Amino acid sequence: MSDTPSASPQTFRLRGVSCAGCVRKIEAALSDVAGVEEARVNLGDKTLVVDGEVAAEDCVEAVESAGYGAELVQANARELRDQQREEEQDHYRQLLWRAGIALGLGVPLMAWGLITGEMGVNSPFQQMAWGAVGLLTLAVLVLCGGHFYTGAWRALRHHSATMDTLVALGTGAAWLFSMLVVVLPQVLPESARHVYFEASAMIIGLINLGQAMEVRARGKTSAAVEKLLELQDPTARVLRDGEEVDIPIEQVQTGDRLRVRPGEKIPVDGRVIEGESLVDESMLTGEPVPVKKAEGDGLSAGTLNKNGSLLFEAEKVGADTRLSQIIEMVKNAQSSRVPIARLADTISAIFVPTVMIIAVVAALVWYNWGPDPQIAHMLVVLTSVLIIACPCALGLATPMSVMVGVGKGAENGVLVRNGKALQQATDLDTLVVDKTGTLTEGAPKLTDIDSTGDTDELLQQLASLESQSEHPLAEAIVAAAKQKNLSLSAVNGFQAITAHGVSGEIDGKKILLGNRKLMQRESIDTGDWPAKAEALAEQGRTAMYAAVDGALAGIIAVADPIREDAKVAVNRLQQLGLRIEMLTGDNRATADAVAKQLGIEHVHADLLPEDKERIVADLQKGGAKVGMAGDGINDAPALARADVGFAIGAGTDVAIESADVTLMRSSLHGVADAVELSRATLRNIKQNLFGAFVYNTLGIPIAAGVLYPITGMLLSPVIAGAAMAFSSVTVVSNANRLRFFKPSHDSGNGNGGEQ
Q: Is 96 in the site for another protein (CB under 8 A)?
A: no
Q: Is 35 in the site for another protein (CB under 8 A)?
A: no
Beta carbon nearer to another protein, 218 or 541: 218
Binding part of the chain for another protein, among 84-92, 524-532, 566-574, 633-641 by CB under 8 A, reads 84-92
Q: Convert 318-337 to b/e letters by CB count within 10 Å (16 or more is b).
A: beebbbbbbbebbbebbebe
Strand partners, 582: 433, 603
Beta carbon nearer to another protein, 163 or 446: 163
Q: Is 587 in the site for another protein (CB under 8 A)?
A: no
Q: Which secondary structure element, helix H or strand E, spans residue 694, and what is its range?
A: helix 669-703
391-411 and 669-703 are packed helices; what angle lies between their axes, rounded to 10 degrees?
A: 170
Quote the CA–CA distance of 514 and 436 in Å, as a whole number. 23
The nearest distance, CB 382 to another protein, in angstroms, is 9
Beta carbon nearer to another protein, 452 or 733: 733
Question: What is the Cα 84 distance to its own chain's centre?
Answer: 19
Beta carbon nearer to another protein, 318 or 501: 318
Q: Which residues contact 122 (CB under 8 A, 6 or more apart)?
A: 185, 190, 193
Q: Is 314 in the site for another protein (CB under 8 A)?
A: no
Beta carbon nearer to another protein, 376 or 671: 376
Please pick, from the candidates 84, 123, 520, 575, the single residue that binds another protein as defined by CB under 8 A: 84
The nearest distance, CB 723 to another protein, in angstroms, is 18
Give the binding-site size for another protein (rule: CB under 8 A). Answer: 59
Q: Is 154 in the site for another protein (CB under 8 A)?
A: yes
Q: Is 361 in the site for another protein (CB under 8 A)?
A: yes
Please pick, from the candidates 91, 484, 509, 737, the single residue that binds another protein as defined by CB under 8 A: 91
Bridge pairing between strands 430-434 and 551-559:
unpaired
Amino acid identity of residue 673, one-letter, is: D
Binding mask 157-186 for another protein (x = CB under 8 A): xxxxxxxx----------------------
Beta carbon nearer to another protein, 56 or 582: 56
Quote the CA–CA distance of 738 and 217 in Å, as a whole number. 13
Q: Is 367 in the site for another protein (CB under 8 A)?
A: yes
Half-sphere exposure of 711 (CA within 13 A, CB side): 10
Quote the CA–CA distance of 496 and 504 in Å, as a whole number. 9
Q: Is 391 in the site for another protein (CB under 8 A)?
A: yes
The nearest distance, CB 396 to another protein, in angstroms, is 6
Q: Is 223 in the site for another protein (CB under 8 A)?
A: no
Beta carbon nearer to another protein, 82 or 450: 82
Active site residue 434: yes
Binding part of the chain for another protein, among 137-145, 212-220, 534-542, 669-677 by CB under 8 A, reads 212-220
Instruction: Give the residue ranges of DSSP H helices in 429-471.
Output: 455-466
Please pick, from the candidates 360, 496, 589, 607, the single residue that binds another protein as defined by CB under 8 A: 360
CB 406, CB 418: distance < 8 Å = no
Please pick, from the candidates 83, 307, 483, 755, the single residue that binds another protein as defined by CB under 8 A: 83
Decide: helix, strand or coil at residue 208: helix
Beta carbon nearer to another protein, 153 or 690: 153
Please pick, from the candidates 46, 265, 322, 331, the single residue that binds another protein as defined by CB under 8 A: 331
Q: Which residues contact 80 (CB under 8 A, 6 or more apart)?
A: none
Q: Is 451 in the site for another protein (CB under 8 A)?
A: no
Binding part of the chain for another protein, among 190-198, 266-274, 335-343, 498-506 by CB under 8 A, reads 335-343
Quote the CA–CA distance of 390 and 404 in Å, as a whole number. 22
Q: Which secondary structure element, helix H or strand E, spans residue 602, and what is its range?
A: strand 602-604
Q: Is 343 in the site for another protein (CB under 8 A)?
A: no
CB 141, CB 196: distance < 8 Å = no
Q: Is 670 in the site for another protein (CB under 8 A)?
A: no
Out of 280, 434, 560, 660, the active site residue is 434
CB 626, CB 432: distance < 8 Å = yes
Q: Is 191 in the site for another protein (CB under 8 A)?
A: no
Quote the CA–CA distance of 585 and 435 in Å, as a whole number. 9
Quote the CA–CA distance of 385 and 73 in Å, as a whole number. 51
Beta carbon nearer to another protein, 403 or 677: 403
Q: Kindly report the three-state secondary structure assignment for every residue of 389-427.
A: CCHHHHHHHHHHHHHHHHHHHHHCCEEECCHHHHHHHHH
Catalytic residue numbers, as ranges:
434
What residue ranges bind another protein (CB under 8 A)? 1-4, 80, 83-84, 87-88, 90-91, 94, 147, 150-164, 211, 214-215, 218, 331-332, 334-337, 345, 348-350, 352-353, 356-357, 360-361, 363-364, 367-368, 378, 391-392, 395-396, 399, 418
